[in-house]
Amino acid sequence: MDRMRLHLNADLGEGTGNDVALMPYLELCNIACGAHAGGPEEIEKIIRLAQQHKVKIGAHPSYPDREQFGRKVMDIAPEALLDSLNKQFKLFKSIANKLGAEIHHVKAHGALYHQVVSNAIVKNTYLHAIENNFNDIKIVIPASYYAKVSNFGYHTVLYEAFADRQYMPDLELMSRKNAAAVLTTTEDLASQLHKMLDCGKVFTADGSWQDIHFDTICVHGDTNGIAERLPRAIALLKNHNY
């Protein structure tokens, strides 16, 4: 990643009301496919918005669990997960094709995002669904798995860091059960972005600095106040020539 340029992505189409405000700052957007949030109308709305701003679009599939917003691991058979993922991808593809939009990447949501890199059965099911539906597509995974995860077939992997989340020393994200898990001030957001871009490091919960390799940085569209804080944080970064 060019450290002088801010490559942002965000999870959108989740009914937060922040999508319009965030889109102008993004390179990529990850659009909910209806399993944890969103649906056909929301997908179409966000793709059209992305087209207006020349933002690359990606599918953002999840465990089929709207009640828990896809943030809890589901005890689901691989066949059932595969069926759900196929349905999510087919819905997303049908709308993208209708609008003439190219699908750039796939990024799993919530618990599925972490299971894809830590559970071999889930990973294989996920890859099976991707290869059922896409010929050549990039796959977004956590930066904490740089040099740990291989065998994503012929797909290019994009490693993702998080602007608005607290990291543990092993570069895993702090559990959302902890009140400090989400960075809630403009200054903290700008500081985390600055250190990532300036020296490829992140300040972790034990007070240490850890190297982090990433291709893109995520801001969560459902983080309270993110639509107001992100522009202010970017304004602070511009003072450092980013």
Residue 1 predicted with pLDDT over 60: no
28-46 pLDDT tens trace? 999 999 999 999 999 999 9
CATH topology of domain 8-238: TIM Barrel (3.20.20)
- What proportion of the chain, given as a percentage, has pLDDT over 70? 96
92-96, 130-134, 145-149: least confident range: 145-149
Residue 71 predicted with pLDDT over 90: yes
9-20 pLDDT tens trace? 999 999 999 999
pLDDT at residue number 162: 96
**CA distance linking residue 3 with residue 173, whole number of Å:** 22
For residues 119-133, give the mean pLDDT. 96
Confidence of residue 133 (pLDDT cuts 50, 70, 90): very high
Q: Where are the domains of the chain?
A: 8-238
8 phi/psi in degrees, rounded to 5:
-100, 145
CA distances from 68 to 71, 74, 166, 183, 186 (A): 6, 10, 21, 22, 28
pLDDT at residue number 4: 56
Spatial CA neighbour of 160 closest among 144, 149, 175, 173: 144
Residue 205 predicted with pLDDT over 80: yes
